[in-house]
Chain A
Amino acid sequence: MSDRLPKVEIFFLLILSAVLIFVIPILNSAVPTDHPFYISNYLVNLLGQYFCLAIVAVSLDFLWGYTGLLSLGQMLFFSLGGYAFGMHLMLMIGRLGQYKSDLPDFMVFLGYNKLPDFWVPFYSFWFAAAAALWVPGLLAFLFGWLAFRSRIRGVYFSILTQALTYAACLLFFRNELSMGGNNGFTDFKFILGKPINSPDTQRALYVASALSLILTYLLLRTLTLTKFGKVQRAIRDSENRVLFSGYAAANYKLFAFTLAAVISGLAGALYVPQVGIINPSQMEPSRSLEAVVWVAVGGRGTLYGPVIGAVGVNALRSWATISLPAYWPILLGSLFILVVLFAPRGIAGFLEFLAGKVLTASRPILPNTQIFTNSSLPKTSSPNPSGQESQKT
């Protein structure tokens, strides 16, 4: 389809890219630390982490806001990407670990004397980087193939994704999996031969995260403008009509679900070297629910709203977990309730309300304020003939 990105949006994206990719790193590296415009290493690192989470939020919005698929397990794919890349980082520690062994510390601790075979290819950076994409993608493909073929929709789909991430979480807690058990992976030392915690490395990771976020946004935004995007939203609004218009809706959903998983895997792989740890707690269902909150707060069905939501909520979290640690869950919960009640289109909806129609021109309006769109509401599969006929006259 030939819908184009509005010029205003391209202009805004260019400015934002320039700020995120050039201005911020320069303010961090080339400005004296006592200068008022200096941006600290700590802040650069934090922003890099936020951007990774924002990538997950954008991919989740692609599923939820545009396809009507509410995934409650999106952080599973993020974690798998993080684990795949973390395996490489563990191997790059070399003999600098606590036990001065070639094996990762947790393996020495558990009495391994040889690296498990499936770990060996992860010595390669590129293998690990690729695995961070295809492992989540493959899992999403298999799960989605089974779910969509069986016409699992709406809440049932959501609950299954939640069960999936919980099952994976329990699995990764087990030491037998050789993935570090409940401690996961940490104490990374090098990435591509560079010390991982040096400001230069962290700045490079920040830039990679910012760039990935912008490219992810562009990719998904462009997709939503194609005929694919129209079918996708048609599935959200009236899946039946789509089926009876000759589209195999399941294939469209499968594509969206797999793509979102691959993107979340990329985000995980970028996140782990910046935060310095990956463990099964990232797979806990509450973590994925938080991702849903980012999207809802930012504004579902806009793609840019979730970026604002993810960065905003996580900044709030960083502040709250230090200043008022006991109140963070209450704060997060209240935020979600307030948004659902009073700003169903989130921050983005509020911004668009302020900006009038300038930005909304080619953007689809969300159908309603429900968490599940009409088409994804559970329906009885076999229509009751008497009930159906009773609608008449």
Chain B
Amino acid sequence: MKREFLLVAEGLTKSFDGFKAIDNINFYLDRGELRTIIGPNGAGKSTFLDLITGRTRPDSGTITYRGNPITRLREYEIYRLGIGRKFQTPSIYAHHTVFENLLLGLKGPRGVFSSIFHRISSSEKNRIAEVLEIIGLTEKAHIPAGLLSHGQKQWLEIGMLLAQEAELLLLDEPAAGMSDEETEKTGNLLLTLAGGHTLIVIEHDMTFIRRLASRVTVLHQGRILCEGSFEHVQNDPRVQEVYLGRKHRAHNQPNS
């Protein structure tokens, strides 16, 4: 019997000027899964997300979402299927208020004319209030998002994906640049989201990844090096060599 995956990438290849950023990747993601992708700089992690979200097109290979090919769709079409993405550097609307940022993220019609005649409904207000609660920014609702701290901007961006009710969340380094406390909160947030949503998280921070206790995929030079539980991956000698680098030193701090 064939398993029903949420997201499948097969034979995926993408090169930039001869440099193979993604080299024949096969990737399978279950519904409700929380998956972490790690890999050294230049391993192709962000490019992989670019390919899923339609920012770049693969040279070959296919990506299917719920069984439908999405390789040829535009960014906004892929988004409308329920795939939301948080960028590596927080990408929010700095001159809109936090509330407005979420409003623009809310699920609903996206057309020009429906936006002109749009009146905010009480259910939309409630949904925004819910999301504000989840991301802990209720008190900041009416200040310009540009004034938020770095960590709060990251949460706001995650909040925009929640407002959208995306099924698959792609999070590019959600804990980057966060304080320990913020990282902890972010970890909790992701753990509560898993199950209800499917998540792909790209991270560098090993303690953070261990906390997520998810299945880990290791990318190296555009290929999948190995896949499995955190412990499995951590103990794989190839991973220790290419990713953790400088053999057997500082398991927890590969980046330092």
Contact = CB atoms under 8 A, between A and B. Distances in A.
Interface residues of B, number: 50
A255 interface: yes
Contact of A223 (B43, B94, B116): B116
Contacts of A390: 41
Nearest to A247: B110
B255 A383 contact: no
B47 to A, nearest CB: 5
B55 to A, nearest CB: 8
A226 B95 contact: no
B197 interface: no
B93 interface: yes
Given A227-B115, A246-B80, A246-B164, A383 B56 contact: yes
Interface in B40-68: 41-47, 50, 53, 55-56
A385 B96 contact: no
A32 interface: no
B23 to A, nearest CB: 12
Contacts of A114: none
Interface string A205-238: 0000000000000000001001110110110011
B119 to A, nearest CB: 6
Given A238-B91, A247-B110, A392-B173, A383 B116 contact: no
A245 B106 CA distance: 9
A247 to B, nearest CB: 5
A364 B204 contact: no
Interface string B103-144: 111000011100111111000000000000000000000001
Contact of A241 (B16, B93, B144): B93
Contacts of B79: 243-246
A366 B95 CA distance: 8
Interface string B8-21: 00000000100101
A385 B219 CA distance: 14
B110 A237 contact: no
A269 to B, nearest CB: 25
Interface string A108-124: 00000000000000000
B229 interface: no
B94 A228 contact: no
Contacts of B144: 365
A245 B160 contact: yes
A332 to B, nearest CB: 31
B176 A392 contact: yes
A2 B117 CA distance: 10
A390 B111 CA distance: 37
Contacts of B53: 244
A135 B91 CA distance: 39
B37 to A, nearest CB: 13
Given A227-B115, A244-B79, A247-B76, A385 B91 contact: no
A246 B82 CA distance: 9
A228 B116 contact: yes
Given A227-B116, A385-B47, A392 B76 contact: no
A388 B56 CA distance: 14
Nearest to A251: B112
Given A385-B19, A385-B21, A385-B44, A243 B76 contact: yes
A243 B84 CA distance: 11
A227 B103 contact: yes
Nearest to B91: A241
A93 B157 CA distance: 63
A306 B44 CA distance: 47
Interface string A363-385: 01111000000000000001111
Contact of B96 (A234, A252, A382, A388): A234
A385 B103 contact: no
Contacts of A238: 91-94
A368 to B, nearest CB: 10
A384 B16 contact: yes
A246 B76 contact: yes
A1 B120 contact: yes
Contact of A245 (B105, B112, B118, B255): B105
Contact of B93 (A227, A234, A392, A393): A234
A255 B255 CA distance: 47
Contacts of A338: none
B111 to A, nearest CB: 7
B16 A382 contact: yes
Contact of B42 (A242, A248, A386): A386
A243 to B, nearest CB: 4
B85 interface: yes
A292 B76 CA distance: 32
B89 A391 contact: yes
Contact of A364 (B16, B87, B95, B120): B95
B184 to A, nearest CB: 20
A388 B46 contact: yes
Contacts of A227: 103-104, 115-116, 118, 120
B95 A237 contact: yes
A69 B229 CA distance: 49
12 contacts: A1-B103, A226-B118, A237-B93, A248-B76, A249-B76, A251-B111, A251-B112, A365-B95, A383-B50, A386-B19, A389-B42, A390-B41
Given A245-B104, A383-B50, 5 more contacts: A223-B116, A230-B96, A233-B95, A234-B104, A383-B46
Which 7 residue pairs spanning A and B have beta carbons closest together? Answer: A246-B79, A227-B118, A385-B21, A228-B115, A389-B41, A243-B75, A227-B115
